[in-house]
Amino acid sequence: MQRGLSFWQRSAAMLVLPPLRLWTKRTWTGMANIPRTGGVIIVPNHVSHFDPLVVAHYLYNADRWPRFLGKASLWRVPVVGPLLNKTLQIPVERGSVEAVKSLDTLVDAVTQGGVVVIYPEGTTTKQPDLWPMRGKTGAARLALLTGAPVVPLANWGAQQVFDPRTSKLKLRLRTPVQVTSGPAIDLSEWAGATPSRQVLEAMTDKIMRSISALVGELRHEQPPATLFDRPGTAAAPTSGEDAG
């Protein structure tokens, strides 16, 4: 059990981790790349609606408390909303004005030493073979504003529990899942740059290629040379599930 956690954080861990340990057979690598202190932006690939639990388990085992982004509407659900609030998860609103407020919340979380998890793809990948898609720009924007390290993270195997392509859930014990992280991405060439669309897209492209390379290592395959560009997915500022 990590030190310094609140009652609600400890309770959430005690509730979630035991079934995850039964449900998955885990291979964790690269944990030395997760900073032990200070604010950090974690950028994973997104292959399944189940993988946030896998990523959270990995980061918890790396002695960091993960703070995920979630649709603000969840905070208005009885029981769920208060629990999300107590465990320091981060609501993200849709709409230009509210999105700015959400970005301020993210900046505060990072500058206060939090581990913020942003899925740059904004949703589960639509690439037919589950390779990462072209990302959105929320993580890059947050990195420019905070100067925090951006650490790429890859996961593979969660789709065996829930595959978004078929929407089938498989309740099989000891499903193999893999998670690894790489060194913080070198974004120094953009340090202090104005967050123009060109700058943010270039940063995001480097972020996504770093993630794709890690996914390739887990899969023992070469990732596609070109990032999959789902029709209608243009880069956009942080908002709702699309944060990232």
Asked if residue 34 lies in contact with residue 41, where contact means CB atoms within 8 angstroms, the answer is no
Query: pTM of the entire structure?
Result: 0.91
CB under 8 Å to 77, separation ≥6 — which residues? none
Predicted local distance difference test score (pLDDT) of residue 93: 77
Predicted local distance difference test score (pLDDT) of residue 95: 63
| CATH class of the 26-242 domain in this structure | alpha beta
Report the interhelical angle of 96-111 vs 138-146 (nearest 10°): 50
Domain ranges of the chain: 26-242
Asked if residue 43 lies in contact with residue 121, where contact means CB atoms within 8 angstroms, the answer is no
Residue ranges of the chain whose pLDDT lies below 50: 233-244
Predicted local distance difference test score (pLDDT) of residue 97: 62
Which helix (H) or strand (E) segment holds residue 163: the answer is strand 162-163
Using DSSP, state whether 168 is helix, strand or coil.
strand
Half-sphere exposure at residue 240, Cβ-oriented, CA atoms within 13 angstroms: 7
Closest of 140, 131, 136, 129 to residue 106, by C-alpha: 140
Predicted local distance difference test score (pLDDT) of residue 176: 98
Measured CA distances, 32 to 136, 149, 184, 208 (Å) = 27, 14, 11, 21
Predicted local distance difference test score (pLDDT) of residue 239: 32
DSSP secondary-structure letter at 133? B
Give the C-alpha separation, 78 to 220, whole Å. Answer: 44
73-119 confidence digits (pLDDT tens): 889 999 889 999 999 999 887 665 666 778 888 999 999 999 999 99
Using DSSP, state whether 191 is helix, strand or coil.
coil
Using DSSP, state whether 68 is helix, strand or coil.
strand
Using DSSP, state whether 88 is helix, strand or coil.
coil
Query: For the chain, where are the alpha helices, taking DSSP H only?
Result: 7-23, 51-61, 80-86, 96-111, 138-146, 197-219
